């Protein structure tokens, strides 16, 4: 998405008007791991995903109706393909967070910021700078330490699923950049078709015997707390976050947006520890510091070389 760069002499108050909503998006995304963990079990993952995105799809479709009607056949197919990848991301993330801590989930998924430039370099056959490779190594070392709770043991199933989710996010980013048909598509329409495609995948999976409880059964069993968590994921982490991104990229630079949204793992760790009662241990704290340092360093280096 293209965006207008914020003028260098803009008053600080105007910069904060743009920064605060983006920081709020990063915060709710960070909190989403604990929220998803609180309302989801292994047997309700698919049902929760159906409910989460079915709630927001009508609002997106109404808001972007004109754009949807204007999409060409190749744009519909490209967006649908991206939606299939997106469904894989959400499945991996949601199953992953069920089997690991919210803190680990938020920090491991941040490796996407390292994986994407590395994958881009592999595709274009351009070797990344040495200091970026050092930042990537630092991040990977941090994940190794982060996943070692009481000693050097195998990473949990959830940790491995979150790592696969980070790789899937990388595939999604690269696909968006290389599917020519979607590059000129309206962002709201593109997102609506992607989410619609993902919901279709979840609905099909929900109909397969043995894949867990039906969405309507899960919805009927939800209490007030579970509904609050589901609405938080739907309204704030999806609908609100998307519209803030659309609004902000037209008022500031992509680098600034990336920097602010890149604080998501910090919020995930803070929420997991403060509200979820999670503990990292000495090695975990060291690993978290290395992940955050490595991803921040790598992101800045990637922005410089972009």
* Distance separating alpha carbons of residues 299 and 302, to the nearest angstrom: 5
Longest dimension (CA), the chain: 60
Q: Looking at residue 255, what is its pLDDT?
A: 58
Low-confidence residues in the chain, pLDDT < 70: 1-16, 148-154, 249-250, 252-256, 258-259, 299, 301-306
Q: Looking at residue 81, what is its pLDDT?
A: 95
* Distance separating alpha carbons of residues 246 and 4, to the nearest angstrom: 12
Alpha helices (H) in 111-210, listed in sequence order: 112-124, 130-146, 157-178, 180-183, 187-207
Residue in 121, 211, 106, 117 with CA at minimum distance from that of residue 163? 106
- Give phi and psi for 253, each to the nearest 5: -90, 155
Q: Packing angle between helix 187-207 and helix 73-98, nearest 10 degrees? A: 60
Q: Looking at residue 42, what is its pLDDT?
A: 92
Q: Summarize pLDDT for 17-66 with one digit per residue, the tens.
A: 777 888 899 899 999 999 999 999 999 999 999 999 999 999 999 988 99
pTM of the shown model: 0.84
Q: Looking at residue 5, what is its pLDDT?
A: 36
> What DSSP line would sit under 254-266, residue for residue?
HHHHHHHHTTHHH
* Distance separating alpha carbons of residues 161 and 159, to the nearest angstrom: 5
Q: Looking at residue 34, what is its pLDDT?
A: 94
For residues 135-148, one letter each, b for 16 or more C-beta atoms within 10 angstroms of the residue's C-beta and e for the rest, the string is bbebbeebbebbbb
Alpha carbon of 278 to those of 232, 268, 288: distances in Å?
21, 11, 13
* Distance separating alpha carbons of residues 174 and 60, to the nearest angstrom: 24
């Amino acid at each position: 998405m293209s965006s207008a760069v914020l003028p260098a002499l803009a008053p600080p108050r105007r910069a904060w008007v743009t920064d605060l909503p983006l920081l709020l998006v990063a915060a709710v995304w960070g909190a989403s791991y604990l929220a998803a963990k609180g309302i989801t079990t292994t047997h309700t993952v698919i049902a929760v995903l159906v409910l989460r995105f079915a709630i927001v799809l009508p609002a997106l479709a109404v808001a972007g109706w004109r754009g949807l009607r204007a999409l060409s056949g190749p744009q519909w197919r490209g967006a649908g393909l991206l939606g299939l990848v997106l469904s894989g991301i959400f499945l991996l993330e949601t199953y992953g967070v069920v089997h690991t801590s919210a803190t680990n989930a938020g920090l491991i998924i941040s490796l996407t910021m390292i994986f994407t430039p590395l994958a881009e370099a592999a595709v274009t056959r351009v070797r990344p700078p040495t200091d970026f490779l050092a930042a990537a190594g630092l991040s990977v070392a941090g994940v190794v330490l982060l996943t070692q709770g009481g000693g050097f043991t195998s990473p949990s199933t959830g940790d491995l699923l979150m790592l696969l989710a980070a790789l899937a996010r990388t595939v999604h980013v690269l696909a968006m950049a290389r599917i020519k048909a979607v590059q000129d598509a309206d962002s709201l329409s593109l997102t609506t078709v992607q989410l619609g495609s993902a919901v279709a995948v979840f609905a099909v999976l929900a109909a397969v015997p043995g894949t867990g409880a039906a969405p309507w059964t899960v919805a009927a069993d939800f209490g007030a707390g579970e509904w609050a968590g589901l609405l938080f994921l739907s309204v704030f982490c999806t609908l609100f976050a998307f519209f803030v991104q659309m609004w902000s990229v037209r008022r500031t630079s992509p680098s600034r947006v990336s920097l602010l949204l890149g604080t998501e793992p910090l919020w995930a760790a803070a929420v997991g520890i403060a509200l979820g009662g999670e503990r990292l241990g000495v090695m975990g704290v060291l690993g978290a510091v290395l992940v955050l340092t490595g991803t921040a360093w790598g992101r800045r280096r990637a922005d410089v070389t972009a």
